[in-house]
Amino acid sequence: MTLPFWPFNSAKKAGAEKPPVNVKYIRRKNLHEAKALILKGTALDGMVVEGNLILASTKTLTRLPERLQVTSLDLHDCTALQELPPGLKVRRLNVSGCTSMWFLPGGLECFELEMRNTPLIGLPDNLRVKCSLNLEGSPRLQSLPDKLHELFA
């Protein structure tokens, strides 16, 4: 599966074979490697993961690499995770039950966002969700973007 924003689509068309050397590129068959690097805290910023990265119910997860790019990211019930990294690019994101997460980063774009049962207070004005947004069970939600109808643009 190739994401519409996948960073190397244009590079492949231009003839480049590999991603830049400062990026750790992990294919589907090595998802366990990506998970291990993230959990050890040794994942490189800018890591690209092709596939469904499942870190659900990892009670010790506190940080994700900046500029992480992943097809699908399941973080549900990661109760120690307080924030998502800047520059996160993801198609499907599940942060349901992340009870320490009060805010989303500005500029987050995804196809589907699942945020059930979180202490979320508000959504950033520049959040973009292409298809589905689920905020069920988020009683602390105090504000929504002024242009909520444009979330799904």
Report pLDDT for 152. 63
Amino acid at 84: L
Distance (Å, whole) CA 127 – CA 44 = 25
Whole-model pTM: value is 0.80
pLDDT in tens, the chain (153 residues): 444 444 434 344 444 444 433 446 777 668 888 999 999 999 999 999 999 999 999 999 999 999 999 999 999 999 999 999 999 999 999 999 999 999 899 889 999 999 999 999 888 888 889 999 999 998 898 877 777 666 665
Report pLDDT for 150. 64
Distance (Å, whole) CA 5 – CA 134 = 22
- Residue 20 makes CB contacts below 8 A (sequence gap 6+) with none
Amino acid at 19: P
Report pLDDT for 29. 61
The residue among 111, 115, 146 whose CA lies nearest residue 129 is: 111
Q: Which of the 8 DSSP states describes residue 57?
A: T
* Domain edges within the chain: 18-152
Spatial contact of 59 and 79, defined as CB atoms under 8 Å apart: yes
